């Protein structure tokens, strides 16, 4: 199941970290873009993982989504991603 939070023009999408869920996220993003005439800027998009996922799975999912992988650095709304992704 995919969950979400919306902040103005930002989306936080939560899902299980696996191939099937990554494909669902792509479908959701593409469907949203088509429905609202938006274009998702993947170069500004990031993916965060909790610490229980392997590095190879992190890399694979980030590659599927074609987004930047954040390894515990950076912040969103002044919160570290480890808090957001837990």
Domain locations along the chain: 3-84
Which residue would you say has higher pLDDT here, 74 or 38?
A: 38
Residues in the chain, total? 86
- What is the predicted pLDDT for the residue at 34? 92
User: 28-65 as b/e, with b when 16 or more CB fall inside 10 Å?
Assistant: bbeeeeeeeeeeeeeeeeebbbeeeeeeeebeebbebb
Contacts of 10 (CB under 8 A, 6+ apart): 76
| 6-32: average pLDDT | 81
Q: State pLDDT tens for residues 62-86.
A: 888 888 877 655 565 666 554 444 3
- What is the predicted pLDDT for the residue at 66? 86
- What is the predicted pLDDT for the residue at 72? 57
- What is the predicted pLDDT for the residue at 31? 92
Tokens 């959701």 label which residue?
A: 28
Asked whether 76 and 40 are in contact (CB, 8 A), the reply is: no
- What is the predicted pLDDT for the residue at 85? 41
pTM: 0.65
């Amino acid at each position: 199941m995919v969950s979400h939070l919306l902040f103005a023009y930002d989306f936080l999408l939560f899902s299980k970290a696996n191939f099937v869920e990554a494909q669902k996220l792509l479908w959701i993003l593409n469907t949203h873009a088509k429905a609202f005439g938006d274009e998702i800027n993947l170069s500004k998009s990031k993916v965060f993982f909790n610490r229980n996922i392997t590095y190879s799975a992190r890399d694979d999912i980030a590659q599927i989504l074609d987004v930047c992988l954040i390894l515990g650095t950076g912040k969103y709304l002044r919160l570290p991603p480890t808090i957001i992704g837990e």
